[in-house]
Amino acid sequence: MNIIVTGASKGIGKAIAEIFSAEGHTLLLCSRNQSQLQHTAEELASRYGNKVHYHAADLSKKEEVEVFGKWCLEIGTPDILINNAGRFLPGSIYNETEGILEDMIATNLYSAYHLTRKIVPAMIANKAGHVFNICSIASVKPYSNGGSYGISKFAMLGFSKNLREELMPLNIKVTSVLPGAVYTDSWSGSGIDPTRIMEDKDIATMVLAASKLSPQACVEEILIRPQLGDL
């Protein structure tokens, strides 16, 4: 299968790319950082022997989404699209830096919106496909210092839920993934005990499992939190 993973050079995206690589699938990877992305792609291809294509792009910019999407379609019909690109900027709505909301919406929502619109028509034509939208526990539970990030993740879940309803009769699955705290680069240096929060491979394992169900079954939502609860 052809698997598209955005935000794939590190963290949850890299873990998802790795678990699908281990299954022998063809990967189409994207992130903003060219050198990190190349390193990840070469590492996976060397380790698992599968085909790993990569294309650096800033998916907060519509024109770069268009280019990346076209590149994906030229490689082949996509079977799975994993909208994982995103980032977190802390702050409170009433005093965060001007422009943070626009940044968070462009990165965490518009990237998925525009790429999905580019890729899904090919899935519809093929009468099969699966879209995973990596949301967040912040999509359902606001928290202090979440600010515009929380707004963007609430919107991402709304986008995913609407997409599920629209694509249901067209035989395209849509799964919203809502992880709690996962130990990625954003937590390094925080002083948090890594055993207190989840591993990125936990999320990848659940995404892979949901992708393997029969055609008549769809996991609509994956809500996964640390065993001891949210921080």
pLDDT in tens, 64-118: 999 999 999 999 999 999 999 999 888 899 999 999 999 999 999 999 999 999 9
> How confident is the model at residue 75, as a pLDDT?
97
Question: Which pTM value belongs to this model?
Answer: 0.95
| Contact call for residues 75 and 2 (beta carbons, < 8 A) | yes
> How confident is the model at residue 186, as a pLDDT?
66
Phi-psi category of 218—alpha, beta or left, where left has phi over 0 and alpha has psi -120 to 50?
Answer: beta
Residues of 52-68 as b/e, b for ≥16 C-beta within 10 angstroms? bbbbbbbbbbeebbeeb
3 state SS for the chain: CEEEEECCCCHHHHHHHHHHHCCCCEEEEEECCHHHHHHHHHHHHHHHCCCEEEEECCCCCHHHHHHHHHHHHHHCCCCEEEECCCCCCCCCCCCCCCCHHHHHHHHHHHHHHHHHHHHHHHHHHHCCEEEEEECCHHHCCCCCCCHHHHHHHHHHHHHHHHHHHHHHHHCEEEEEEEECCECCHHHCCCCCCHHHCECHHHHHHHHHHHHCCCCCCCCCEEEECCCCCCC
> Which residues make Cβ contacts (< 8 Å) with residue 41, sequence separation at least 6?
27, 29, 52, 53, 54
**Which one from 54, 113, 149, 183 is the annotated catalytic residue?**
149
> How confident is the model at residue 211, as a pLDDT?
98
> How confident is the model at residue 144, as a pLDDT?
84
* Sequence ranges of the domains in the chain: 2-224
Q: What is the pLDDT of residues 122-140, one digit of tens each?
A: 999 999 999 999 999 999 9
pLDDT at 142 over 70: yes
> How confident is the model at residue 89, as a pLDDT?
87
Predicted confidence band of residue 55 (pLDDT cuts 50, 70, 90): very high
Q: What is the pLDDT of residues 180-227, one digit of tens each?
A: 989 777 666 677 888 888 999 999 999 999 999 999 999 999 999 999
Known active-site residue 149: yes
What CATH fold (topology level) applies to the domain 2-224? Rossmann fold (3.40.50)
Tell me the mean pLDDT in the region 2-31.
97
